[in-house]
Amino acid sequence: MNAWFSWETGILTAGGYLLSLILLPIVLLTKKKEPVSTVAWVMAIVGLPYLGAFLFLVFGINRVTKRIRSRQQITGRTMDRLRKLGQHHLLSEEMLTPLQRTMMLVAHRVGASRATGGNQVKLLSDTPQAFAEIELALADAKSSIHLEYYIWQPDGVGTRLRDLLIAKAQQGVRVRFLYDGLGSMWLTHRFLQPMRDAGIKLAPFVPGQTFRERWSINLRSHRKIVVVDGRIGFTGGMNVGDEYLGKDPHFGYWRDTHLRLTGPTVRQLQEIFTLDWLYATGEDVIDAKYFPQPLELGATRAQILSGGPDEDESTFHSIMFAAITEARKEITLSTSYFVPPPALASALEIAARRGVRTRVMLSGPKTYWHTRHAARSFFDPLLSAGVEIYEYTRGQLHSKVLTIDGEWSLVGTPNFDARSIFLNFELAAAIYDHSIARDLSMLFDQDIPDARRIHLAEWEARPTWERLKENYCRMFSPIL
């Protein structure tokens, strides 16, 4: 028995080393732009030969390079047509503060969109209210409805919205529905067929069209878009499901931040949807009828930014880094997942050391075990620098909000983690408005009684076992 066991152990050990030798060159070739990610994958493969290799094969390899190139080609061919339809009410620099001018310049250069005036932006921090607003807009639709979601659950609220879309399609409204194949994996043929029968056009966001692509869980569409008649738009953190109404017993109360938009920003949302739809289906819906003259119902200055792995440089990494480094008075950040790339973690730390009041609120016990402990591995230098860190305890915190100096805000779908910043297709509204920034800061203040602040002295006294869990989870931070 001992000899047999030794023989088996030797085979397994040799296999582990052979697998490592095969995969390590692939890591070095494919991750050369991300040195921290390279080190993490090397450690995982060498330290956990079989598990690390499996995780790399699932998470680490981009199997959709051809689709990314196709996406870039589609974007390049159609951008001029979209710009002719969508450029309205552009802002001049004279209307902005120095911080806002800087952020507008950065956003334009890295995000390929322009800040606009004449918008109305309504904050929706209560999820039942947000769903009510969306349902009201859908019910009033006259010509078109475009939707794109990461998660759409076939539960109570998902079925109710589906049936509303079916009713509108039967009334002659053109409805298109784009969903992520992984996030919305529970959407069955039985659930979707009534939509098809009613004339709704629907498609999964690629990758995910072939078995080989489904093997990769990277490169997902994490976007949430609703555009009604080309005039009313919604985006933010909320997907579609009963859990977002606080009905899931595990998550409990759900704290999210969503936006209702009118004005030129809706045309920018429509741009993103039409590109995603063309990419996923091949159908060109870039038509003037989907880009009507914007409703000028407000005076808020804003723009929609999109980012994804088809970019040479990450839009949201650049935007977040620029915003944090430009801050002079105050930073507030709310995010459900906090596993930042090194540059963003350092930017927060340095901002606090510069005297900027820096406050961060993260999802607490209701979030995933591995992401919570990976997030905690970043706390030591941040707390030492003076960053105020809160963990939300009332339920699930799912907001993705960044405000700077009470002048500029970013609200949308990206979390403060490497997956959102580098691997997913995301979008957000950059808002150049004092009142919106003030309201978002007030919402942060209102969340504090439902959160637990982490204090440095208490944190330094935590058990060694907790530190081990944190550092173990941090090894996988490039993919969390």
Tell me which residues are annotated as active site: 222, 224, 229, 398, 400, 405
145: tokens are 């409805």
Q: Residues near 248 by Cβ (< 8 Å), separated by ≥ 6?
A: 242, 254
Q: How far is CA 320 from the centre of its chain?
A: 13
Residue 298, burial from CB neighbour count under 10 angstroms (0-12, 13-18, 19+):
middle
Q: Show the tokens assigned to 379.
A: 């706390």
Q: Which helix (H) or strand (E) holds 346?
A: helix 342-353
Rg (CA), the chain: 23
Kindly give the interhelix angle for 189-197 and 156-170, rounded to the nearest 10 degrees: 20
Alpha helices in 140-177 (DSSP H): 156-170
Cβ burial 368-380 (10 Å sphere, 16+ → b, else e): eebbbbbbbbbbe
Residue 430 CA from chain centroid, whole number: 14
Backbone angles phi, psi at 301, to 5 degrees: -100, 125
